[in-house]
Amino acid sequence: MNPLPPKPAVFLLLLFSVIFVGTHFSIAIDTSNSTIQIINDGDHLVSTNKNFTLGFFSLNNSTTPRYVGIWYSQIPQRTIVWVANRNQPLNDTSGTFALDRHGNVVLFTPTQTISLWSTNTTIQSNDDVSIELQNTGNLALIERQSEKVIWQSFDYPSHVFLPYMKLGLNRQTGFSWFLTSWKALDDPGTGNFSCRIDPTGYPQLILYKGNVPRWRVGSWTGEKWSGVPEMTRSFIFNTTYIDNIQEISITDGVTDDTVLTSMTLDESGLLHRSTWSEQDKKWKDYWWAPTEWCDTYNQCDPNTNCDQYDTKQFYCKCLPGFEPRSNQSWLLNNPSGGCISKRPNAMCRSGEGFVKVSRVKVPDTSMASADLSMSLEACAQACLNDCNCTAYASANELTGSGCVMWHGDLIDTRTFANTGQDLHVRVDAIELAQYTQNSNRPSTKKVIVIVVVSFVALVLLLTSLVYLWKMARKRRERSRSLSYDLGDTLNPNEFDESRTNSDLPIFDLLTIAKATDDFSLNNKLGKGGFGAVYKGKLTNGVEIAVKRLAKNSGQGVEEFKNEVNLIAKLQHRNLVKILGYCVKNEEKMIVYEYLPNKSLDTFIFDDSKRALLNWKKRFEILRGIARGILYLHQDSRLKIIHRDLKTSNILLDVDLNPKIADFGMARIFGQDQNQANTNRIVGT
C-alpha cells in the first residue's frame, strides 16, 4: 500500500487558527515526516479567540528569554494565565511551535534540533488529532474520531486557577491538578509555593512553601473551605466539589461568561481572587490570603486555639482540657511546645464529655477520619466510645450532618470573628464539671450590673417622696411628648423610650455612637429626606445600619414613629430586619441589619455593577420583591401598603437577595378594607 499523504483537514484547522495573524507566521508542511509547523518569526500570536490568545511572549520588554503562553485577548494589560515552557525558555528571537508526526505539540529551537517542551502523548499519527484553543483558555489536543481530549493545558496549571479548571487528585491514577507560583515577576519558572489538595485523612486544601504547609485553606464544609470564612455562596461562581472513589476535586464555574475572574498564586505566596474592572481598566483583588497572624500554619503549636480577636490576652490559648507545656514560655508570649493534657491519665473514664469551641477553623484533618452519613449525635457517641478520639465536628455546615473525628494532637485551630465551625473537644469529668459550673455562673458584668442596680434602688428608696413624685412627673411628661396616634396608620400604645418592648430592643445612645465611631463620615452609607444612614459594628461583632433622623426634620418624626411600630411586627425573608431603636432627647434612630450590597439602584445605574446582574439574577430579585409585597398585602398579620417602593428602598444582602426597606410612609388597611383616603401626598 502507498503511504497516505497528510490529511488536508489538519492543515485547514491550523490555517483557521492563525487567520488573524496575517504575515507574521508561516505554515509549512514537511512531506518527509508529515509534520505541520507554525513557525514564529517574532513576538506574535499563534492562535486567538474572543477570550484568550496563545502566542510567544517575553517579559520586561526584552526579546529573550521567550516563552509560549496563554493570555486574555481583550485586556490591554497582558495577563499571562498559562506558560508551556516555563522552565525551558527559548533563548532566541524565533522558534517553532508545531504538531509533530506523532501527534504531539512541540516547541523547537530555531534549528529544530532540540525540543524545549512537548505534550508528550502517545498517538499513532497527527492525522488523527486536532489542536484547539477553547474560549475557556484551555489548549486541548483532541482525537478526531472519538472527539476525546488526549491532552489539555487545564491538566497542567501554572500559577492561575481559571473558571472550569480543576484543583484536586485522581484517586485511581494519582494524577494531581495543582497551582505553582512563578519564581519572580519576570521569571515564570516553577517557584517555591504550591497549592494542592492533600487527600490523607479527611481531604483539605493546603498552600505549601516547598514541602512545608504555609497556610491550611482547610477541609470542605458543604459550601466553602473551613479556612476561608469569606467564601460564601456567590452570584458569580457555581462551585462544584467532588469527593468519591474516582477523584477529589473542586471546580469554579461562572454564571456570567462576560465576567473575567481568576485566582492567582503569586511569587510571594499569596492567593488572591481578582476580577477585571472594565470601568477602571485594571484587575481588582477582592480577597487574598494568608494575611492574618493566625493564618500561618500551626502558629501556636499543638492543642491550641489562635484567637487574634481577643486583644486583651496573648493570641495563643490552650484548648479545653489542656495547659501550656511551658508556663515560662507562655508568660513571655512564646507558644513554643503548645499545650498538653492537664490530666492524661484521667481520660477514657466515666463522666467524660465535650466542650464546644465556636467560630473556629477546625484542626488539621490529615489525621482525622470522616463518616459523611453519620449524624452529629451519633458522631459524639462514636467519639466518646473511642479512647483515642480527642475531638469531633460536623462535616457539612449546610446540613449539620456528617462526622469528622480527630485522633491525637489538635493542630492549627484558629478563631474567626463572625463565622466558623463548632469544634467539640473531649475533656475529662473534672474539666467538664468546671466548664459547666462556669457556664452557669453569672458573668462579672452581670454581677456588677446587679450590685449597681441594687445600690441605686437603695438610694432611691431613701430619697424623699417628693423627689420620687417629681421624677415620676418628668417621666410622664417625657412619655407624653413622645406619645402619638398614628391616625390613619396604626394605634399602638404610647411610644415611650423608658419602656422595653421584648420584640424591639432599645439601644443606648452611647452604644450606637461607639458602634458608628461617633457617626463618622467614613461610616456614612447615604442620606435621605429625613436623615442619614450609618454603618456600625457592635461589640459582639454584629454589623448594623443606623438610620438617624435629622434633628431639624419635623416632617420625619411621624414617619419615624410609624416605622418603629410597624416594621417590628413584620417578619419575612424579603423585608429588612429591624434590630431595635434609640430615642434620647432630640435623637431618634432605628437600628437595622446591615446589608453589604446597599440598594438596587447602586447596581442598576452603575455600568460595571449592572453587568453583574444577569437575567437569572434579575428575575430572582424581582421574584423576591414580589414575595415581599405579597406578604405585606396578603399574608402578614397587618394588611400593609408600602407607598414608597423604589429601587433605593430595595436593599441587597451579600448574595443579592432583595429586602424591602423604609416603611416610614407605609399604611395599614383593615382586613376587609379595599380603599381609603390619605391626608397628604406621600411616597412615589
Annotated binding site for ATP: 547
Give me the phi and psi of 600, to 5 degrees please.
Answer: -65, -35
CA distance 569 to 489: 14
Helix, strand or coil, per DSSP, at residue 449: helix
- Which amino acid is it at 553? S
What number of CA atoms fall less than 13 Å from residue 254's CA on the CB side? Answer: 18
What residue numbers does the annotated binding site cover?
Answer: 547
Cα maximum dimension of the chain: 123
Q: Give the closest residue to 425 by CA, choosing from 390, 400, 397.
A: 390
Neighbours of 6 (CB within 10 A): 18
How many other C-beta atoms can be found within 10 angstroms of the C-beta atom of residue 273? 21
Compute the half-sphere exposure of residue 309: CA atoms within 13 Å on the CB side of its CA.
12
DSSP string, 62-82: -S-SBEEEEEESS-SS--EEE
Short-list 84, 59, 91, 88, CA closest to 70: 84
Would you state the cell numbers that stand for residue 368, as one nine-digit string? Answer: 482525622
Among the listed residues 430, 396, 305, 293, the one whose alpha carbon sits nearest the alpha carbon of residue 356: 305
- DSSP run (H or E) holding 560: helix 556-567
Would you tell me how many other CB atoms lie within 10 Å of the CB of residue 141? 22
Question: How far is it, in rounded angstroms, from Cα 511 to Cα 580?
Answer: 12
C-alpha pair distances (Å), 119 with each of 98, 177, 219, 316, 644: 11, 16, 33, 49, 63
Nearest to 306 by CA among 417, 431, 426: 417
Residue type, 141: L
Sole residue written with cell 526579546:
63
The three-state secondary structure class of 483 is coil
Give me the DSSP letters along 203-272.
Answer: -EEEEEETTEEEEEEE-B-SSSBTT-TT----SSEEEEEEESSSEEEEEEEES-TTS-EEEEE-TTS-EE
Cα-to-chain-centroid distance, residue 111: 50
Q: How far apart are CA 412 and CA 316, in angstroms?
A: 11
Sheet containing 261-265, strands listed edge to edge, beginning at the edge strand earlier in sequence: 160-161, 261-265, 271-277, 282-289
Three-state DSSP state, 2: coil
Helix (H, G, I), strand (E, B) or coil at 634: helix
Give yes or no for a contact between 587 and 513, defined as CB atoms under 8 angstroms apart: no
Q: Which grid coordinates are listed for 425?
A: 473537644
Planar angle of CA 649, 655, 658, nearest 5 degrees: 25
What Cα–Cα distance (Å) separates residue 234 from each residue in 319, 396, 605? 33, 18, 21
Nearest of 578, 604, 576, 600 to residue 650 by alpha carbon: 600
Active-site positions read 644
Q: Using CB atoms within 10 Å of the CB of residue 59, give its burial: 0 to 12 exposed, 13 to 18 middle, 19+ buried.
A: middle
What is the DSSP code (8-state) at residue 114?
-
In 3D, which of 147, 146, 91, 152 has the Cα closest to residue 120? Answer: 152
- Nearest CA to 632 out of 652, 649, 619 is that of 649
